[in-house]
Amino acid sequence: MIKKTLILFFIFSALFRGYTQNITRLTVTPPLSNVTTIIDGNSIQGLIPGDTIAITGGKYFQLLIRNISGTKNKPIIVINRGAQAIVSGNTIYGVKIGGCNFLKLSGKGNNSDYYGIIIKDIVTSLSSGGIGLSIDDLSTQIEVENVELKNITYVGIMAKTDPSCVFLSQYSSFVMRDLFIHDNYIHKIGHEGMYIGSSKFKDGYPLTCSGVNSTVYPHLLKNLKIYKNIVDSTGWDGIQIGCADSAKVFNNSISRDSQADSLYQMSGILFGGGSQNVECYNNKIQNGHGDALEILGQGKIKLFNNLIVNPGKGTSLSKYGVFVNTSASTNPGWVYIFNNTIIYPNTYGIYCLNSIAQSQASNNIIIVPNPYFNAIVYSLNPSLINSYNLTKGSVTESPNLFTDPNSGDYSLTFFSEAKDKGIDLSSYGVTFDILDNPRPYPASGSFDKGAYEYTPGVGIIKNEKDLPEVTIIPNPNNGNFSIQFNLSRPQLLSVKIFNVIGNCVFDSGIKQFDTNTNNLNLNEAFFPNGLYIVQIFGAERQRSIKMIVNK
């Protein structure tokens, strides 16, 4: 009896393992001609939740992924295999995800390529065409990671299903949930880098169905997360979001947005009509023609720890660091603007055209000429709480305010006027800074102003894979030492060394470092004995290690 029981146990265990393991159910190969490659879940024999669909590296003309359904714990993964999968063609779209749920599109299938799926040169003269990646036809619970999109006529990533006479995608019938877009590189886009959700929340879509005229309103998005993306050189908005009820947008880098100077299409990040319960934090928005952050949503929107540099640069139009206007929404609520650093906006630092009570702007640093008139303007909202903000006419007006503003380093020095001068906003959920360092710095106990909390010796970022582990050889040393680190791909980095009072005593400047092992040999005989912090700065993160000089 015991032997039979053991045999049955092993049989059931083997069957269970076979069912739950992640199986490559289908391998797609590049076509021999310019045809659409179709991956249809209804045609894949045996496809079950948790399976993988492999896209063999090579060139594809157009890719259609449809009718695929995983589950929350076992999504279907569509991933490149062996090399980069490159989609390129004069088509309406490059890649389309239609009628899918619990699906992940991933470019992480090849260790040597950070972006394993490339969607490029999607160029068409059609007014409705030229979309890099379209997520539509009632798709929901979709994740997109490690995809590069470039040289696209219209939109980089579009995610929404517009209402139609079928009446399945309107406000009352459908919600797009759990859309996660992260670790992508979107650049050289004709219109929006990302177009997420509808812009018709307030006015709806006029439709004539069976001879009857009606107005149909778009669906909402819930639990939207957009993070760790790089968006560069867009004609219109960098990231446009509409109809999002619960969203987090964080750790994105956006540069050179709105280059076409198309009126009403000019922002780094736009929260349009219907957007509410939003957190937008730890983003860097630099050198765009538009407003860095434009808020047209329902309210309950919190903007914090964002670094904004030169919004409205290069345009004659009036543009702002943060622009708040509720004209596109109904019954709007509060907007909180906390601990942002805004450098040289074209017009005003913060401009509020809403009249919502309980809105608040606190702990911001705003550098703008004539700050008394231009830093924070809210004439239509006399109830705006405007407190603990630091405003200056130039980055050098306050000595030691920033570490190295001429090199784009707007972290605070030990002697910064913004250090320990903020109000405690931890009750609003502001408990970290733009580098994810704790706020306030524990040794200080007081909040700083601006996006950066002064934090000597702390700079290791959660979940950071791009920056290397750092080794000092020898450590301790006599001032003659080597800084060693490995890179998985070439990067632009800078190496800085700080003493214990926060002074920068060495700065390599921004340099190109190569793949694999890098050695920076230094002979700094003038360093006094003591503790130093060696920091490696990347585009968005930093890595730190302590070093002791003992001669």
- In angstroms, the CA 473 to CA 548 distance is 11
- In angstroms, the CA 269 to CA 291 distance is 8
CA angle 100, 101, 102 (to 5 degrees): 135
pLDDT(516) > 70: yes
In percent, how much of the chain has pLDDT > 90? Answer: 66
Neighbour count for residue 25 (Cβ, 10 Å) = 17
The pLDDT, as a whole number, for residue 485 is 85
For 219-275, what is each residue's pLDDT tens digit? Answer: 999 999 999 999 999 999 999 999 999 999 999 999 999 999 999 999 999 999 999
The pLDDT, as a whole number, for residue 327 is 66
The pLDDT, as a whole number, for residue 328 is 61
DSSP secondary structure of 343-354: E--SS-SEEE--
Neighbour count for residue 267 (Cβ, 10 Å) = 31
Name the phi and psi angles at 41, rounded to 5.
Answer: -60, -30
* Domains by residue range for the chain, with CATH: 470-549 (2.60.40.3080)
How does residue 459 score in pLDDT terms, banded at 50, 70 and 90? very low
- In angstroms, the CA 349 to CA 377 distance is 8
pLDDT(19) > 50: no
Per-residue tokens: 506:
């060495």
The pLDDT, as a whole number, for residue 17 is 35
- In angstroms, the CA 293 to CA 239 distance is 10
- In angstroms, the CA 269 to CA 194 distance is 9
For 40-79, what is each residue's pLDDT tens digit? Answer: 999 999 999 999 999 999 999 999 999 999 999 999 999 9
The pLDDT, as a whole number, for residue 413 is 87
Strand 542-549 and strand 530-537: the pairing is antiparallel
DSSP 8-class letter at 452 = -
pLDDT(20) > 70: no
The pLDDT, as a whole number, for residue 380 is 63
DSSP secondary structure of 191-217: S-SEEES-S-TTT-EEEEETTEEEEEP
- In this prediction, residues 455-478 reach a mean pLDDT of 65
The pLDDT, as a whole number, for residue 10 is 34
- In angstroms, the CA 35 to CA 277 distance is 43
Strand 76-88 and strand 52-60: the pairing is parallel
Paired residues of 342 in beta bridges: 308, 366
The pLDDT, as a whole number, for residue 316 is 92
Q: Which amino acid is at 482?
A: S
Question: In angstroms, what is the C-alpha Rg of the chain?
Answer: 26
- In angstroms, the CA 67 to CA 75 distance is 13
Task: Select from 224, 136, 149 the least CA-distant residue to 180.
Answer: 224
The pLDDT, as a whole number, for residue 13 is 36
The pLDDT, as a whole number, for residue 7 is 34
The pLDDT, as a whole number, for residue 72 is 96
- In angstroms, the CA 132 to CA 354 distance is 35
Q: Report helix, strand or coil for 163.
A: coil
For 112-150, what is each residue's pLDDT tens digit? Answer: 899 999 999 998 776 667 899 999 999 999 999 999 999
